[in-house]
């Protein structure tokens, strides 16, 4: 398929999924799922929620969606949740996350996303109990929705080295009017009658020296091989210069078992030692993040690594391709925004332009 058509089919999602996707059941629901009904205790519904990290099984996804719907009904009816229950629900749905360690050189941040499963307009707002800390809210301007995960990363304040605890009051609200998300202040009086729940939370965090203590680096021949085998290349020689698009097939990296590994890729096209083009993208290699992820026309989930131009005379000539290469490197940049990352890929992968040409021919033959 021509590259232009493939690129039209590549609809970048650029947003984190805050809850596991529903997977259609292959058979009748199990007894465990059937037990989740309107009479189930709230604690049982919360326990049925799949954790925001990891890839749920089809049955876990069904249980998650069933439990989430029942919890939503109870919340909107005004049935109270305890502090711990609210915290567990928001953490398991990915709406509220924080790391137990954080580099003291960077403002301590949390992930705060809209609890869309309650109501499309629902928000989370945080008021600090210490005057030197920032308030925060989950709302994002409509023009920015889905553009990047960093919008949901909220800096709260500076931390020192060592253990500390930061106290906040958390409000889950539905704004009283459609312009409420434009109000920057987070005051209790703003919440009005739209408060669904409120509770206290303490973010216990250890300030450390370096990001590598938060998301440790990992590199191995096995990971490098998995990444190499997951590369997808399209080339369009109908343009001058030729357009070459290199992507990473996340279906392949997920099947390779790269669980909990994130990567902040720096991809460079090098011409005999001279860097011609550089791109940076970050995502989870286990498929648990939709950050920078799009779908090809055949349904493959991919992360675009670089979309670059190569002289047509170079791309079409084996002799001219000599000395050209693609360098793929894992960095620490932006990995703190990969909230499910337990480790980060820190290796390096180099492919010759000849190898990219062969991969492009393989795709063209499909």
Same-domain status, 252 and 180? no
Question: pTM of the entire structure?
Answer: 0.80
Question: According to the model, what pLDDT value does residue 318 have?
Answer: 96
Same-domain status, 182 and 245? no
pLDDT tens-digit map of 227-286: 999 999 999 999 899 999 999 999 999 999 899 999 999 999 999 999 999 999 999 999
Q: Are 282 and 337 in contact (CB under 8 A)?
A: yes
Question: According to the model, what pLDDT value does residue 241 have?
Answer: 95
Same-domain status, 306 and 243? yes
Same-domain status, 42 and 158? no
pLDDT tens-digit map of 73-89: 998 888 889 989 999 99
Q: Which domain holds residue 89?
A: 19-93
- CATH number of the CATH domain containing 198: 2.60.40
Instruction: Give the count of domains, the chain.
Output: 3
Same-domain status, 233 and 338? yes
- Alpha helices (H) along the chain: 3-9, 31-34, 42-47, 58-76, 83-92, 188-191, 221-229, 250-255, 312-315, 318-321, 353-364
CA-based end-to-end distance of the chain = 8
């Amino acid at each position: 398929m021509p590259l232009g058509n493939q690129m039209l089919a590549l609809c970048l999602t650029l947003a984190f999924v805050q809850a596991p996707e529903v997977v259609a059941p292959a058979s009748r629901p199990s007894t465990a799922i059937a037990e989740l009904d309107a009479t189930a205790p709230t604690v049982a519904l919360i326990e049925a929620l799949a954790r925001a990290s990891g890839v749920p099984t089809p049955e876990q996804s069904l249980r998650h969606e069933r439990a989430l719907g029942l919890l939503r009904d109870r919340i909107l009816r005004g049935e109270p949740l305890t502090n711990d229950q609210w915290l567990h629900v928001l953490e398991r749905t990915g709406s509220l996350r924080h790391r137990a360690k954080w580099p003291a050189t960077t403002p301590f941040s949390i992930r705060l996303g809209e609890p869309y499963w309650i109501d499309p307009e629902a928000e989370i707002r945080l008021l600090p109990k210490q005057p030197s800390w920032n308030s925060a809210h989950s709302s994002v301007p409509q023009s920015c929705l889905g553009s990047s995960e960093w919008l949901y990363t909220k800096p709260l304040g500076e931390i020192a080295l060592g253990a500390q605890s930061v106290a906040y009051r958390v409000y889950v609200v539905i704004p009283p009017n459609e312009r409420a998300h434009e109000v920057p202040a987070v005051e209790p009086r703003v919440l009005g009658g739209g408060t669904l729940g409120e509770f206290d939370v303490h973010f216990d965090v250890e300030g450390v020296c370096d990001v590598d203590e938060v998301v440790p680096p990992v590199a191995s021949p096995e990971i490098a091989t998995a990444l190499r085998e997951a590369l997808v290349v399209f080339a369009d020689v109908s343009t001058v210069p030729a357009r070459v698009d290199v992507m990473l097939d996340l279906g392949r990296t997920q099947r390779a078992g790269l669980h909990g590994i994130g990567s902040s890729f720096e991809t460079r096209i090098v011409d005999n030692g001279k860097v011609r083009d550089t791109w940076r993208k970050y995502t989870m290699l286990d498929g648990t993040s939709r950050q920078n992820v799009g779908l090809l026309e055949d349904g493959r989930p991919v992360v675009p690594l670089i979309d670059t131009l190569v002289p047509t005379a170079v791309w079409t000539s084996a002799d001219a391709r000599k000395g050209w290469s693609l360098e793929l490197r894992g960095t620490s940049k932006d990995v703190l925004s990969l909230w499910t990352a337990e480790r980060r890929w820190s290796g390096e992968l180099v492919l010759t332009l000849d190898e990219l040409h062969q991969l492009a021919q393989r795709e063209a033959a499909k």
